[in-house]
Amino acid sequence: MPVEFLTIAQQKCYGRYADEPTPTQLERYFYLDDRERQLVNRRRGAHNRLGFALQLCTVRFLGTFLVNPTDVPPGVVNYLAQQLEIKDIQCLSHYLERTTTHREHAGEIQRLYGYRDFHDPPEYWRLVRWLYQRAWLSAERPSVLFDLTTARLVERKILLPGVTTLTRLIARIRERANQRLEQALFRLAHPQQRVNLEKLLVVGENSRQTPFEQLRKSPTRISASGLVAALQRLVSIRALGLNELNFTKIPTARLQLLARTGAGSKAQAIARMPEPRRIATLLAFAYVWQVVAMDDAIDLLDSLVRELLAFSQRQGIKERLRTLKDLDAAALLLSAACQVLLDPDYSDPVVRPTVFDLFDPEELAKAIQTVNELARPEYDNNYYELMRQRWRQVRRFLPHLLKTIEFQATKAGQPVLQAWHFLKSIEGVRKPDWDSAPLQIVTSPSWWRWLVDENGQFNRQAFTFCVLQALRAALRRRDLFVFPSRRWGNPGSQLLQGEAWIAAKPQVCRLLEREPTPLKELENLAAQLGEAYQRTTANFSDNAAVRINLVDGKETLVLTGLEKIEEPSSLKLLRQQVENLLPRVDLPELLLEVQALTGFASEFTHISEATARVQDLPTSICAVLLAEACNIGLEPLVRADVPALTKDRLSWVKHNYLRQETIIKANARLVDAQTNIPLAQSWGGGEVASADGLRFQVPVRTINAGPNPKYFGVGRGITYYNFTSDQFTGFHSILIPGTLRDSLFLLEGLLEQQTSLRPTEIMTDTAGYSDIVFGLFWLLGYQFSPRLADIGEARFWRIDATANYGVLDGLAKNRINTELIAQNWEDLLRVAGSLKLGTVSASDLMYALQGGKNPSSLSKAIAELGRVAKTLYLLAYIDDEAYRRRILIQLNRGESRHSLARAVFHGQRGELRQRYREGQEDQLSALGLVVNAIVLWNTLYSDAALNHLRVTQAFVNPEDITRLSPLKYKHINMLGRYHFSLPEAVLRGEMRPLRDVAEFSAYEA
């Protein structure tokens, strides 16, 4: 039962003043009302009155009485002394002269204000039940539960217990919740299923691996045989008979956490577990991995069909280039013959003999035949007929696919589903009844050209390929979906519905600050839009950066790009001074120092044995993180003479401690620590962020990578889509195979990140731009601010058809359909509420909303709403140069962060060589964590350098400070031999000495 989940810094701050309270906190907790002043003024002597007031406000703010009531920040003493009109605050030193006085005051305050001791019933048992409920329903880490519990105790006027009392209680309750989960899953499985699950841990006669180890491995080859193996894996999991079990009473988050724990454990470790825990782990693994296996199979199908389509186009273009010479010759011959036909010097009776005298009739006939064979209609550029070369490959997987996967469809996907069912019905039938074939999916003339021959006979191969293409397109639009699935499921079914939505609606409206009915919201939007137009119009004549040109009779907006702002000499000097003062450090030492400061390594727990402990574990964790982030493997870090760095230790730590959830928790600590540094606060408050993708080539065989010649050449790769705060920290990241549209993942980064930052504005490049994104951002209370590459292409919209917007009136020709928004308002709130409460995946929902040629009424309503939000943004964008520059600055921060990430990820030519999605996520998340550690270290020492400069020189310009960056890395050694050790002074919590300027000058010389 681990209880050491708090850092030393957290333990020191518990029940004490960590810093001066903010002005808002002073007003809320330390202001004395009339009743309290009367109570305070009953004390005799200024020191007793001030001491009593301090105890009263301290217990209200901290939730506990201090052992030394006078151990408070000076700002608190001054704030209370001013209210009590006490001029000499030094009198407070007399408050502790009588040891009983402050204890009597504490007892009186506790009695008068209803403060209760921690163990007093019934509040103690209410707290236990509340904690147990949270521990059972969620997978919150113990430090989060500790903070939530502390806040609850303060709110309910329960005096805080000792820190170890509270940590032990939380650990004990979490252990009880774990035992309950294990018992519930153990009882859920009937005896035969337990036997089947136990067999997963037994090595077969003709195998070197257990079935458990085989099932947890994802496919890596995009081929027919790979898809067949993936389908057989799904069938094997289904054979365990879990679909008949009812998991509704098991919290999903706990189930997934246990499954991931099991999947990361060795079969031998699971076999050694007690029976209830062993069965529970295997059951959770099998239940969750059925979804994983389904997703992997559909991923493979999607990639395989894409390859089939790409193959036909590649071969067709290659064949067309090869025959282009013959086509040109035939076309030139026919052109010459046609010139004779059109020559007016030849009369009709003689034109035919003349042509045949000049050109051989057989040559003309051959030319006509060549043109007919090689020339292609304008609509026929997909070369579908060349797919038949891959027919044998399709036949290898198609029977298994038809038998294994049951697709479901929305209304828009019904034609594709009918075609799929027909294909299933004719499997094995030699002469199908083509008259009953559903042909609504055949929309392209090029398909008809191949589907039906001159005699009206259907081509089975053509129909099969046509169905597969339509199937893939419908899956990507989510018009077709599968169950159970996380990536290819039905987003609509995950939205709040029925009684659940009725119950949640009031909370959603309050949370989003939206009206339950559309009338007032539309009125407010109309007013905001009108004001924005009028403001921009009034400023237009003075805005030298924008003008309206007439192009082909159409008004087009032209916006001049931002000019580069020259850096003042004071900024250049300050930047150089700060960089000169930063200590030189090896990257391993930097990681260890950040660990000593934040304790982030304590978030890395053993995947299956939570109580596992080894000496110098943080050193091993830092070494493994560095190996992953630098892409160099473990070998350069191995030190046989250092127990924490032996090969076996590092390998054990990597496989048991390094995983997505532990990295996310550790990263949250770094982000939280950054927010407390004054220099970081001068850059921003965490409300603004940017999102951009970093591309990595993946040269190994994997299904979790995609092609894009622009970024990956002839190979394949992935996109590491990450979110950067205005404090330079990365607070969330998403792994994307290939280069999918950025707009699909914007909301996911905002809604699913787990740090203390709460960004409300996201800035992106033009790639993240769409009306639906604007609409969802507005509904959720976020500001979407993309940098627009060509604003002349943007459309401006209006609500008031009669309004005159002056110079902008000609641009605002498009009218918002407010009736469509009003009709769908209930569903708009339901979508936003489902996203906010986490019942639906943001990226899956974006797939469904943005895919397809025939969007639903809901998609149209969100887009219509987004056009209002987009127009408001466009008007602000063209009207305010400072706003445009702020967007550019934030995007540059993200790009500079990418440069630092590239410098860190230097091994193996910067290529990602992980085969499985989980391994790719873990390695790139480790890279993000190490980059955050560098940012935190640089910020900390830059802040110390600024303090040094403030003391040693007359003035440091605050405006220059805001333009410094913590993304420099020349002073950090990332190459060579890696040593993991720290100076004694740093181990004691001291900082490294800043560099001497004279030393720097000598070094440079």
Q: What one-character-per-residue DSSP string does 929-979 give?
A: HHHHHHHHHHHHHHHHHHHHHHHHSS---HHHHTT--S---TTEE-SS---
* Paired residues of 762 in beta bridges: 689, 784
Tokens 């720290």, located at residue: 982
Q: Is the pLDDT of residue 364 over 70?
A: yes
Q: Is the pLDDT of residue 1002 over 50?
A: no
| Cβ neighbours of 384 (radius 10 Å) | 22
612 falls in which pLDDT band (50, 70, 90)?
low
More confidently predicted of 245 and 931: 931
Q: Is the pLDDT of residue 319 over 70?
A: no
Q: What is the pLDDT of residue 978?
A: 67
Tell me the two tokens of residue 547: 């003008």
Q: Give yes or no for a contact between 897 and 691, defined as CB atoms under 8 angstroms apart.
A: no
Nearest C-alpha neighbor of 696 from the set 715, 681, 677, 669: 715
Q: What is the pLDDT of residue 840?
A: 82
pLDDT digits (tens, 9 = 90+) for 739-752: 767 677 888 888 88
* Paired residues of 551 in beta bridges: 554
27 falls in which pLDDT band (50, 70, 90)?
confident
The dihedral formed by the CA atoms of 109, 114, 118 and 123, expressed in degrees to the nearest 10: 180
CA distance 785 to 762: 6
Q: Is the pLDDT of residue 81 over 80?
A: yes
First to last CA, the chain: 57
CA distance 765 to 955: 37
Q: How many residues does the chain have?
A: 1005
pLDDT digits (tens, 9 = 90+) for 643-684: 899 999 999 899 888 888 889 989 999 999 999 899 999 999
CA distance 365 to 958: 84
More confidently predicted of 268 and 965: 965
Q: What is the pLDDT of residue 902?
A: 94
Percent of the chain with pLDDT over 90: 38
Average pLDDT taken over every residue of the chain = 86
CA distance 880 to 542: 11
Q: What is the pLDDT of residue 442?
A: 83
Cα angle: 221, vertex 223, 226; to 5 degrees: 60
Nearest C-alpha neighbor of 633 from the set 982, 914, 930, 931: 914
What letter represents residue 451's amino acid? L
The average pLDDT across 500-526 equals 89
Q: Is the pLDDT of residue 10 over 90?
A: no
More confidently predicted of 367 and 313: 367
Q: Give yes or no for a contact between 972 and 713, defined as CB atoms under 8 angstroms apart.
A: no
Q: What is the pLDDT of residue 716?
A: 86
Q: Which helix (H) or strand (E) holds 160?
A: none
Range with the lowest mean pLDDT among 85-94, 138-147, 692-701? Answer: 138-147
* Paired residues of 458 in beta bridges: 452
Residues with Cβ within 8 Å of residue 73, at least 6 apart in sequence: 17, 19, 20, 21
Q: What is the pLDDT of residue 125?
A: 92
3-state secondary structure at position 696: strand
517 falls in which pLDDT band (50, 70, 90)?
very high
Q: What is the pLDDT of residue 1004?
A: 41
The average pLDDT across 136-161 equals 83
Q: What is the pLDDT of residue 19?
A: 79
Q: Give yes or no for a contact between 789 and 764, defined as CB atoms under 8 angstroms apart.
A: no
The average pLDDT across 937-943 equals 95
Q: What is the pLDDT of residue 2?
A: 45
DSSP 168-224: HHHHHHHHHHHHHHHHHHHHHS-HHHHHHHHHTTS--TT-SS-HHHHHTPPP---SH
Q: Is the pLDDT of residue 910 over 70?
A: yes
The average pLDDT across 150-156 equals 88
838 falls in which pLDDT band (50, 70, 90)?
confident
What letter represents residue 571's amino acid? L
Q: Is the pLDDT of residue 1001 over 50?
A: no
Q: Give yes or no for a contact between 421 and 503, defined as CB atoms under 8 angstroms apart.
A: no
Range with the lowest mean pLDDT among 41-45, 355-359, 625-629, 728-732? Answer: 355-359
Q: Give yes or no for a contact between 800 and 528, defined as CB atoms under 8 angstroms apart.
A: no
Q: Which helix (H) or strand (E) holds 271?
A: helix 267-271
CA distance 20 to 66: 16
Q: What is the pLDDT of residue 229?
A: 92
Q: What is the pLDDT of residue 500?
A: 84
Q: Classify residue 256 as exposed, middle or buried by CB count within 10 Å of its CB (0-12, 13-18, 19+).
A: middle
3-state secondary structure at position 23: helix
More confidently predicted of 549 and 929: 929
DSSP 617-641: HHHHHHHHHHHHHHT--SGGG--TT
Q: Give yes or no for a contact between 691 and 722, defined as CB atoms under 8 angstroms apart.
A: yes
Cα angle: 755, vertex 757, 762; to 5 degrees: 115
Q: Is the pLDDT of residue 613 over 70?
A: no
CA distance 819 to 796: 19
* Paired residues of 723 in beta bridges: 691, 732
Residues with Cβ within 8 Å of residue 809, at least 6 apart in sequence: none
Q: What b-and-e string marks burial along 716-748, b requiring 16 or more CB atoms within 10 Å of the CB?
A: bbbbbbbbbbbbbbbbbbbbbbbbbbbbbbbbb
pLDDT digits (tens, 9 = 90+) for 702-726: 888 888 777 787 788 988 999 999 9
Q: Classify residue 359 as exposed, middle or buried by CB count within 10 Å of its CB (0-12, 13-18, 19+).
A: middle
Q: Is the pLDDT of residue 55 over 70?
A: yes
Q: Answer yes or no: pTM beyond 0.85.
A: no
Cα angle: 638, vertex 641, 644; to 5 degrees: 60
Q: Is the pLDDT of residue 1005 over 50?
A: no
Q: Give yes or no for a contact between 867 and 528, defined as CB atoms under 8 angstroms apart.
A: no
CA distance 835 to 691: 19
The average pLDDT across 968-992 equals 81
Tell me the two tokens of residue 852: 């397809």
Residues with Cβ within 8 Å of residue 877, at least 6 apart in sequence: 785, 788, 791, 883, 884
Q: What is the pLDDT of residue 755?
A: 85
| Cβ neighbours of 689 (radius 10 Å) | 28
Provide the 8-state DSSP code for 484: S
CA distance 1 to 514: 44
767 falls in which pLDDT band (50, 70, 90)?
low
Q: Is the pLDDT of residue 995 over 60?
A: yes
DSSP 559-571: EPPPPPPPPPHHH
pLDDT digits (tens, 9 = 90+) for 420-454: 999 999 988 888 888 888 888 887 777 777 787 76
The average pLDDT across 518-529 equals 93
Tell me the two tokens of residue 313: 């186009």
CA distance 667 to 603: 9
Cα angle: 276, vertex 282, 285; to 5 degrees: 135
CA distance 142 to 150: 12
CA distance 506 to 76: 39
Q: Give yes or no for a contact between 559 and 545, defined as CB atoms under 8 angstroms apart.
A: yes
Q: What is the pLDDT of residue 488?
A: 86
Range with the lowest mean pLDDT among 42-51, 698-707, 941-950? Answer: 698-707
Q: Is the pLDDT of residue 999 over 60?
A: no
